Each structure stands twice: as C-alpha cells, then as structure tokens.
Amino acid sequence: MLEQGCLMTDRIVVFPLYLIILLGLAGCDGYGDAAKKAGISVAGGGEQARTSLLERDLEFANTVAQSGLAEAYRLYLAEDAVQLPDGDWPLQGRNTIYQQIRNATQDSDFSLSWKPAAAEVSVSGDLGYTWGTYWLETVDETGELLVLEGNYLNVWRKSADDVWEVVVDISNQITTDYVATAIIDTGDQDAAPSPE
C-alpha cells in the first residue's frame, strides 16, 4: 500500500509538468517554412518570433563556447527551470541546475555544443521550443577523447522583460559507443552513419 502511495505521489508531481508542456505546445501552429539561415526549419507564431527564438538558442550555444557551460545555463535558464538530463533524475530550479553543471564540469576536459534543427512558437508568441543535435566531448578514464551525440529539446518562455528563457531542458543521448567511434574515426560529426 505504501509503495502504491509513493508511486502515485511521483505521478502527481511529474504529471503536471507533462501536462503543462503538452498544453503549451498545443498552442503552437503549423509545420513551418524553411528558415533563411542555416537551413533550420521553423513553424508557428510568426516569422519574427521564430527567428528571435532561433537566434536566442544559437546565442545560448555561443555563450557556452565563450563563457563555459555552467555560466551559460545560469544566464539562459528561467528561475523555475527544470532539466531532464539523459539517464538521470530531474533537476528543478536554475540554481540547482547551475550547481550540478558547475560541479560536474569543474575539473574535467568537457565541452558541449549544439545546433538547432527546428523551432515552433505559440500563436501568442510567448511560448515555444527548439530542438536539434548536441555533441558532448570529454576525456574518458583512459585519457581517450570521447564524443557523445544526442538530441535535445528546449522549451522556452518569454520573461516579464520579453526575453526568451529556457523553462524545460531535455536531452536524449544516442547510443554512446556506436556514434563516438564513428565520429572519432573520421573526425567528422556529420560522418556518423545512422543506426539501423
């Protein structure tokens, strides 16, 4: 009986998050036009809103390269952000996410980069999402370069100051050894064949 109560409590906590995401994304419309720059597909609440969201996601990625991962997350996450990292428990709140990333990357050769593939913005123009591919480079326990590839989805919300902030950050790593080996062997992130 107690276990069922715990499971139900977990569902009650997680269900509202999924419901909020689904309701928010239900407000997004269309399948979009090809973006003029970088071949990125966009759809939804107006070209200007989509472009602004894509530019914000690219700016976020550039800030990682310039200022480091933890600092970029501190700057681009909403105060109430949730991170759903691949293979780990959810993290809630900008400060919690920042501390976790800072601690994880403090003493390591670690870099993260990404490229958005598409974006959608709600008709109201205050909620949207971007998704794309990320590349995480690190050194494994033997000193060898390890490149991990995955997909990400960021749900964005306009702040009171009319600035896009990440409210949900989700990552989904592609099979580690398969992709890492293909990328390391060729030195080209685009050379990794698709899994069959």
10-residue mean pLDDT profile of the chain (196 residues): values are 40 44 44 43 71 96 95 98 94 98 85 94 95 92 89 98 98 69 53 47
pLDDT at 178: 47
Give every CB contact of residue 123 below 8 A, 6+ residues apart in sequence: 27, 28, 29, 44, 45
Q: How far apart are CA 57 and CA 71, in angstroms?
A: 15
pLDDT at 44: 52
pLDDT at 76: 99
Ordered by start, the domain boundaries in the chain are: 2-191
What is the identity of the amino acid at 6? C
* CATH class of the structural domain 2-191: alpha beta
pLDDT at 139: 85
pLDDT at 195: 45
Beta carbons of 171 and 158 less than 8 angstroms apart: no
